[in-house]
Structure 1
Amino acid sequence: MNNLVKNTLNLGLDEIENFNFPVDEPFMLKINNDGVIYDFIIRFSSGNKNLICCASGAHARNQKTSKGELIKPPYFDRWSWYKYFDESFIAFSDPIFYYNDEITLGWCVGDKNQWYLEVISQIISKLAKNQKIINDNILFFSSSGGGFVSVGLATLLRNSKCLINNSQFSVFNYYKKHRDNLFKILKKEFNGLSESEISNIISYRLDLIELFKREKYMPDITYYVNVCSEADIDNHCIPFVNEILELQYFKNNLTVCFYHEDKDKPHNALETTKTLRILKNFIKSELYNVE
């Protein structure tokens, strides 16, 4: 998926803030941080000081191009949505897909040495500073596993906001096959420690409640969830709401929007037109907007 845009930039972490990036045209950015490659598709706006960041979620490993070629990482969700917005737009991938051919969802958990979500937050922070965009005007958006990542990033970049759809809030509440594939990698990274031992060491990477406790902070969350998706309601929505009610960092900063969409796979995100309408309304009411 390296040919999605014409221009690719390769930079180090310390080069981002002062780099002269192109504006009003999409480009790919690759950051090598201690041997781990972080991939972004970016379109900076010359006339808008809002920033929308779109996280990636699960990806099948057997998808092919129209020419029959296997699609290889990096994987991006909604990367082309920049064309729908006046705002600056960033889509980013999870580096864990470079590890092996089996992993299908990584939640930006990372490896023993790097918490990918934390590094991504640092990169986005530097990109925003480069464009003179403040955290209050940053919106993280995605669905499912990408929703988990979006909430995590909004936690690390304080005062930013997140809008999520049918999100996970704990890795342990999602399907076992995804979790098992992740822990196959983590067990190698952590020298054969058990799943329980690893989970104790990096609990804040695997469960958002634990991250809120670690950071002593919970971000503003707008959460759309399909009532027709029993797995989302029973395994994610209800447990998360119950847990934050006991959390001292909960300051009425969760808005849950229930909707009814009966379809074959009710966990799948809202259709594009509905999602775009929700995003644009949110941006108009919650982010900085020039008259």
Structure 2
Amino acid sequence: MNIPNKIIECNLESLEGYNFPVNKPFNLIVYADDIKYEFLVNLKDTSDKLLILTPGSIPNKHDRTKPYYERYNWYFEESTIFINDPTTYINDEITTGWGLGTLDNWYLETIAEIISKISRNLYKYDVNNQYGNIMFYGSLSGGYMAIMLSILVKNSISIAEVPQLEIFRSYPKPIIKYVFKDMSLKQIHDNYEYRISIIELIKKEKYIPRSIVLLDYTFDLDLNKEYFSFFQKLCELPYIKKDDKNNINVRIIGRNKGHETLKPWQLRDVISNVNKIIDTSFYDVSTIHKNKIMEQEKKIKEYEEELKNEINQISLNNKEIAQYQNELKYHLEKIHDNDKLLEDYKKDYIREEDQIQANDKKIVDYQVELDKLNRKIIEEDTQFKEYKQESTNKYNDLKEKLTIRNKVTLEYYKLKGSLKKKLILWIPYVYILIKTRPFNETFINIRLYRALQDNEWFDVGFYLVVYHELSRKKWCKFLTPETHYVCYGFNEKKLPNEDYTYVDSKKELLRLLKK
């Protein structure tokens, strides 16, 4: 159970008749004599039992400005009330309060009154069964509080694990300093002995609680020093009767694990059998629940093994995921590099296109100049014919001049043809770059084109004769037959020469051409 946000606040007098929410956990704050008593409450309509859980020592990591509810996240079928001990608010040095309160105010007594009022508000009791459905549970110092509360709330039941039976078997300095104001031990025992000793409260109330005490016999020192002495004093009380149902039952457990408390499922098992244990006085855990405990521990081991296998599988899956992520990262980087290369090719193409346009403009300018020159030649030739008869010497001089001029013109045409050829060398590459799909085949197509240019393996004449539908103007003047084969012919399984044997891929064809 998580700590709920809902808080109900009231004073001690208004508890009776208060309509508390059911099946909805809430925080309860009760004010009595200017002291704030805090509880975490979860009332259920599916159970007629009320389980009260008392706190032990507060862990160091706990926020001391907030209430401390021990085992609040455990699941119980019963209605539950978790107690916070306001004694620990007196000073932060107090980590275990035992419900002692102050010199004039015994907090545990007020807590017992609050629990009694709440239970009377929830349940209809008759004289014989009043508070019989209330169970107090705690361990160590919490076990002490559970037994003390079951004495104050008579006919209730307490379940105490390895409880402390007397507070001052040790020397709790913060309690002496802040609760008892540095009184001597004698003064404390003389005036407040019933607060610090279970046996003394039993004597004061003349009532032996219905209690189940869970002990660990592996702690012989505890048994000898504290528990044997307690039971000896208990048996000496004059009002004990053999047929009295109000007695303390003992379950002796030997786990050899020290003061280790019960696990949640073990505690739930004790709670569900509490009346059976009280009525039968059957205390040996080895004969009551041994088989069930062994079976549950076996299941726990199986669950642990399954969990271990699942964790190993998750670890393997994480490794595979990491490997896939690395591969994905590599491919993304490759795609990024290809995109960058494509951008570079596009820029080169744009530059080449601009250069071609500039050269085309120059060719147009040269053509204009050529036309002018041709017209001039025609004019001079006409003039030459007119003056031919006039002077042979003049004619010969003019002829020599025209011969020299025509020679220059022919050399110019040759130069022009060479320049044009240079200008169209990039056209096949640009065509391959534009027409190749998918784009990742562009590099293999360009390499194959270069290899065909440098190799006699591709028979141009054979290719043009066999596939006469190819346009000579397109594939011979500006582009090349090799361009057509790289972009279309290979995929269409056209023959590049008369002895061609089909090759599966362009990469394999490249390897053959390089041999």
TM-score for the superposition, normalised by structure 2? 0.50
* Aligned counterpart, 2:261: 269
Cα deviation digits, residues 37-74 of structure 1 (max 9, x gap)? 111111112232211111111113x215xxxxx45442
Letter aligned with residue 269 of structure 2: R
* Aligned counterpart, 2:82: 91
Which structure shows the bigger proportion of residues in strand conformation? 1
> CA–CA distance in 2 between the matches of 1:184 and 1:235?
26
Q: Which secondary structure does the structure 1 equivalent of 2:145 belong to?
A: helix
Flag the 1:194–1:109 CA change in 2: closer, same or farther, 3 A.
same
> CA–CA distance in 1 between the matches of 2:268 and 2:180?
39
Matches within 5 A, 1:209-220: 209-220=199-210
- Please say if residues 187 and 195 of structure 1, whose CA atoms lie closer than 8 Å, have aligned partners that are also in contact: no
User: Which residue of 151, 154, 169 corresponds with 2:150?
Assistant: 154
Q: Which secondary structure does the structure 2 equivalent of 1:127 belong to?
A: helix
* Aligned counterpart, 1:119: 110
Q: Which secondary structure does the structure 1 equivalent of 2:148 belong to?
A: helix
Deviation at 1:286, TM superposition (A): 6.2
Matches within 5 A, 1:193-204: 193-204=183-194
> CA–CA distance in 1 between the matches of 2:272 and 2:71?
15
* Aligned counterpart, 1:77: 70
* Aligned counterpart, 1:185: 178
Greater mean deviation of Cα atoms: 12-21 or 233-242 = 233-242
* Aligned counterpart, 2:164: 168
Structure 1, unaligned stretches of length 5 or more? Answer: 65-69
User: Which residue of 58, 61, 77 corresponds with 1:63?
Assistant: 61
Letter aligned with residue 61 of structure 2: Q
> CA–CA distance in 2 between the matches of 1:199 and 1:285?
34
- Please say if residues 54 and 143 of structure 2, whose CA atoms lie closer than 8 Å, have aligned partners that are also in contact: yes
Cα deviation digits, residues 121-176 of structure 1 (max 9, x gap)? 00000100110153111111111111111111111111111111100111122x33
Letter aligned with residue 150 of structure 2: A
- Please say if residues 53 and 89 of structure 1, whose CA atoms lie closer than 8 Å, have aligned partners that are also in contact: yes
Matches within 5 A, 1:231-242: 231-242=221-232
User: Which residue of 209, 213, 216 corresponds with 1:223?
Assistant: 213
Deviation at 1:283, TM superposition (A): 5.5
Which structure shows the bigger proportion of residues in helix conformation? 2
RMSD, aligned α-carbons: 2.0
Flag the 1:143–1:34 CA change in 2: closer, same or farther, 3 A.
same
* Aligned counterpart, 1:67: none
- Please say if residues 212 and 249 of structure 1, whose CA atoms lie closer than 8 Å, have aligned partners that are also in contact: no
Q: Select the structure with the greater relative contact order (CA < 8 A; seq sep ≥ 6).
A: 1
- Please say if residues 164 and 223 of structure 1, whose CA atoms lie closer than 8 Å, have aligned partners that are also in contact: yes
- Please say if residues 73 and 98 of structure 1, whose CA atoms lie closer than 8 Å, have aligned partners that are also in contact: no
Letter aligned with residue 258 of structure 1: I
**Structure of larger gyration radius:** 2
Letter aligned with residue 232 of structure 1: D
Letter aligned with residue 165 of structure 1: E
> CA–CA distance in 1 between the matches of 2:138 and 2:33?
27
Q: Count residues in correspondence.
A: 269
> CA–CA distance in 2 between the matches of 1:211 and 1:285?
24
- Please say if residues 176 and 183 of structure 2, whose CA atoms lie closer than 8 Å, have aligned partners that are also in contact: no
- Please say if residues 51 and 137 of structure 1, whose CA atoms lie closer than 8 Å, have aligned partners that are also in contact: yes
Q: Which secondary structure does the structure 2 equivalent of 1:90 belong to?
A: strand
Letter aligned with residue 49 of structure 1: D
Flag the 1:251–1:25 CA change in 2: closer, same or farther, 3 A.
farther
* Aligned counterpart, 1:19: 18
User: Which residue of 269, 273, 287 corresponds with 1:281?
Assistant: 273
Flag the 1:187–1:153 CA change in 2: closer, same or farther, 3 A.
closer
> CA–CA distance in 2 between the matches of 1:248 and 1:101?
42
Q: Which secondary structure does the structure 1 equivalent of 2:236 belong to?
A: coil
- Please say if residues 208 and 248 of structure 2, whose CA atoms lie closer than 8 Å, have aligned partners that are also in contact: no
* Aligned counterpart, 1:109: 100
Flag the 1:240–1:285 CA change in 2: closer, same or farther, 3 A.
closer
> CA–CA distance in 1 between the matches of 2:175 and 2:221?
20
* Aligned counterpart, 2:52: 53
Deviation at 1:222, TM superposition (A): 1.0
Structure 2, unaligned stretches of length 5 or more? Answer: 125-129, 280-515
Deviation at 1:269, TM superposition (A): 1.3
> CA–CA distance in 1 between the matches of 2:232 and 2:261?
23
Letter aligned with residue 164 of structure 2: Q
Cα deviation digits, residues 186-208 of structure 1 (max 9, x gap)? 233xxx53232122111100011
Q: Identity percentage over the alignment?
A: 31
- Please say if residues 167 and 232 of structure 1, whose CA atoms lie closer than 8 Å, have aligned partners that are also in contact: no
Q: Which secondary structure does the structure 2 equivalent of 1:202 belong to?
A: helix
